[in-house]
Amino acid sequence: MSEAAPAPILEIEDLRVAIQSKSSRTPVLRGAHLRLDAGKILGLVGESGGGKTMVCKAILGVLPESARVESGSIRFEGRELIGMRARERRGLLGRSIAMILQNPMTALNPAFRIGDQITDVLRLHMRLSKAAAERRALEMLNTVHIREPARVMRLYPHELSGGMCQRVVISIAFSCEPRLIIADEPTTALDVTVQHQILRLIRDLQRQTGTSVLFITHDLGVVAKLCDSVSVIHAGRILESGPVEQIFSSQHHPYTEALLNAAPRYDRPESVLHPISTELREQLARETEAYDRGHALA
Ligand SMILES: Nc1ncnc2c1ncn2[C@@H]1O[C@H](COP(=O)(O)OP(=O)(O)OP(=O)(O)O)[C@@H](O)[C@H]1O
Ligand SMILES: [Mg+2]
């Protein structure tokens, strides 16, 4: 008997989102599809403007007001999120689905002490008492390797470095034991040595907790270190998806190949970087246009 296929925690199918103004409609997600299995890390990779953040916002239900979901499906643990009542959907955020953003400073409130920001989340979502929330906050700060957690609890975000703030954000994201964490370029705003520490921390916590992670990045090197599988996005279309070993070893889409060749290799500093060719850009632009012609709204 064959083994049962692992259950997807997140499944996106044919997601089409366009920015709508009075006179124009600009597609930003063109039939995007993703599948994240429970307990795994899926990397969503692509260049700037490809639609990575739009995918996150669509999952969280926080698309810009001008954006319209034209079709498709987003299922979280089998439940359809598109069309779900706002209140029910908000109930999932923080508790079942948590976020780690690129800039920890925008995730933390500058006016409140670190300790209060962690305990507020714990009291709201886990219904802990003040004392229990404080104990758990100290424990979480320890888990993300913050030294002197009791002192840090009393500080404001501006008194911490960017890397420390991101550790606090990560502690908040994991503190309510969410089943899915969406991390949108969580290391891009940090310097390289701190980036490595933060990646290792996310990987270790993910392994300990078994939380599923959708990890967004433009860096295939990060994908190789961290992710189980990867989806490559360009102009709102998923060009390729598969297990990480497959994407890095065998035949792949020319765009994935180009991203691999355009990324610096830390293990081979002498290697030459190849910018993405004009021919490939033109080919992708033709494919995108063809998609739009085939999916023009009546
Ligand atoms: N608030 C908005 N209103 C209108 N268009 C937007 C808005 N936010 C993003 N877009 C457009 O949607 C497309 C996808 O943007 P998105 O932010 O998802 O890209 P990204 O892959 O996350 O890029 P980056 O790597 O720079 O973060 C882009 O063409 C962008 O210009
Ligand atoms: Mg983005």
232 lines ligand 1 (CB under 6 A): no
Q: Which residues, including other chains, have CB under 8 Å from residue 228's CB and lie 6 or more apart?
A: 37, 40, 41, 42, 243, 244
**Long-range contacts (CB closer than 8 Å, 24 or more residues apart) made by 199-204:** 199/225, 199/226, 201/144, 201/145, 201/167, 201/170, 202/100, 202/170, 202/226, 203/41
- The whole model's pTM is what? 0.92
218 lines ligand 1 (CB under 6 A): yes
91 lines ligand 1 (CB under 6 A): no
What digits encode the pLDDT tens for the residues 219-255?
888 899 899 999 999 999 999 999 999 888 876 788 9
Ligand closest to 24 (CA) is 1
What digits encode the pLDDT tens for the residues 71-115?
999 999 999 999 999 888 888 887 899 999 888 888 899 999 999
188 lines ligand 1 (CB under 6 A): no
DSSP structure class, residue 190: S
CB 205 within 8 Å of CB 145: no
